[in-house]
Amino acid sequence: MKAIVITKYGAPEVLKLQDYPTPEISGDEVLIEVKAAGINRPDVFQREGNYPAPEGVVADIPGLEVAGTIVKCGPDVVDFTVGERVCALLAGGGYAEYVAVREGQCLPIPGDLSFAEAASLPETVFTVWSNVFQRGKLKAGEAFLIHGGNSGIGITGIQIAHALGSQVIVTVGSDEKGQNCLELGADSYINYKTQNFETELQNEGVDVILDMIGGDYLAKNINILKPEGRLVHINAVSGSRVDLDIWKVMTKRLTVTGSTLRSREYEFKKQLAKEIQKNVWPLIESKKFKPVIFKTFPFSEAAEAHRLLEDGSHTGKIILVR
Ligand X SMILES: NC(=O)c1ccc[n+]([C@@H]2O[C@H](COP(=O)([O-])OP(=O)(O)OC[C@H]3O[C@@H](n4cnc5c(N)ncnc54)[C@H](OP(=O)(O)O)[C@@H]3O)[C@@H](O)[C@H]2O)c1
Which lies closer to ligand X via its Cβ, residue 136 or residue 148? 148
- With CA atoms as reference, report the closest residue to 189 among 226, 146, 220, 252: 146
Which lies closer to ligand X via its Cβ, residue 69 or residue 238? 238
Residue partners of 44: CB distance under 8 A and separation at least 6: 306, 309, 310
Using CB under 6 A, which residues numbered 104 to 133 contact ligand X? Answer: 123, 127
DSSP state of 299: G
Write the CA distances from 320 to 39, 46, 62, 205, 290, integer angstroms: 7, 17, 12, 40, 18
**Is residue 216 within 8 Å of residue 240, measured between CB atoms?**
no
Q: Which of 121, 235, 276, 305 binds ligand X (CB under 6 A)?
A: 235
Using CB under 6 A, which residues numbered 160 to 199 contact ligand X? Answer: 171-173, 177, 192
Q: Residue 135, interface with ligand X (CB under 6 A)?
A: no
Rounded Cα distance between 146 and 249, Å, is 20
Q: Residue 212, interface with ligand X (CB under 6 A)?
A: yes
Which lies closer to ligand X via its Cβ, residue 30 or residue 213? 213
Rounded Cα distance between 20 and 42, Å, is 22
Rounded Cα distance between 243 and 239, Å, is 11
Which lies closer to ligand X via its Cβ, residue 99 or residue 309? 309
Q: Could you report how far apart the first and last alpha carbons of the chain are, in Å?
A: 13
Residue nearest to ligand X (CB): 173
Rounded Cα distance between 5 and 59, Å, is 9
Binding mask of the shown chain, residues 241 to 280, with x at each position contacting ligand X by CB under 6 A: ------------------xxx-------------------
Which lies closer to ligand X via its Cβ, residue 35 or residue 177? 177
Of the ranges 24-32, 132-140, 201-209, 234-242, which one interacts with ligand X (CB under 6 A)? 234-242
Binding mask of the shown chain, residues 41 to 60, with x at each position contacting ligand X by CB under 6 A: xx------------------
Kindly determine how many residues on this chain lie close enough to bind ligand X according to the rule CB under 6 A. Answer: 27
**Is residue 254 within 8 Å of residue 230, measured between CB atoms?**
yes
Amino acid at 302: A
Q: Residue 147, interface with ligand X (CB under 6 A)?
A: yes
Of the ranges 35-43, 87-95, 199-207, 274-282, which one interacts with ligand X (CB under 6 A)? 35-43
Return the SS3 of 27: coil
Binding mask of the shown chain, residues 292 to 321, with x at each position contacting ligand X by CB under 6 A: -----------------x--x---------
Pairing between β-strand 225-233 and β-strand 255-258 as defined by DSSP bridges? parallel
Q: Which spans of this chain sit near ligand X (rule: CB under 6 A)? A: 40-42, 123, 127, 147-148, 150-154, 171-173, 177, 192, 212-213, 234-235, 237, 259-261, 309, 312
